[in-house]
């Protein structure tokens, strides 16, 4: 088995696609007006419209309701990303800070309220 993607359900695919294109810096692959993918070397972030939920099973997912998942993105320089994203991010949870496990981390929310973490290891074992 191979992990393929993480999918976010949203009420506004265009808004979330634009946000993640700015944050991640990769162009979206738009497979359908209700579904898009941002493909990186390590995996895929898929964004699907809440209109697709009934195809999966009535009520199995809800947009803007995540309170348990954090999307982690490895970056070269957390401080650089913090400065670059000042005009893109509406809500920063924290400024860049060192975590006990050895990463320098920046936490914020996407437009749907999902938590996003940009991190840079501060030592090789982190």
Is the same domain home to 51 and 83?
no
C-alpha span between 121 and 123 (Å, rounded): 6
Number of domains, the chain: 2
Is the same domain home to 38 and 82?
no
Is the same domain home to 16 and 70?
no
Residue 123, pLDDT score: 78
Is the same domain home to 77 and 102?
yes
Give the domain CATH number at 99: 3.10.180.10
- 61 near 7, Cβ under 8 Å? no
Q: How confident is the model at residue 24 (pLDDT cuts 50, 70, 90)?
A: very high
9 within domain boundaries? yes
Residue 31, pLDDT score: 92
Residue 104, pLDDT score: 97
Q: What's the burial of 38, exposed, middle or buried (CB within 10 Å: 0-12/13-18/19+)?
A: buried
Is the same domain home to 39 and 79?
no
Residue 35: domain span:
1-55
- pTM (2 d.p.): 0.92
Using the predicted structure, report yes or no on whether residue 38 has a pLDDT greater than 90: yes
Residue 58, pLDDT score: 87
């Amino acid at each position: 088995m191979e992990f393929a993607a993480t999918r976010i359900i949203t009420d506004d695919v265009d808004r979330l696609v634009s946000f993640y294109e700015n944050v991640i810096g990769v162009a979206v692959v738009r497979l359908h007006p209700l579904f898009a993918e941002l493909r990186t070397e390590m995996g895929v972030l898929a964004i699907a419209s809440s209109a697709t939920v009934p195809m999966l099973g009535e009520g199995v997912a809800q947009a803007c309701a995540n309170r348990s998942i954090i999307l982690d993105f490895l970056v070269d320089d957390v401080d650089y990303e913090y400065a670059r994203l000042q005009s893109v991010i509406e809500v920063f949870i924290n400024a860049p800070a060192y975590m006990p496990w050895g990463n320098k981390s920046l936490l914020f929310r996407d437009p749907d309220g999902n938590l996003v973490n940009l991190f840079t290891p501060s030592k090789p074992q982190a």
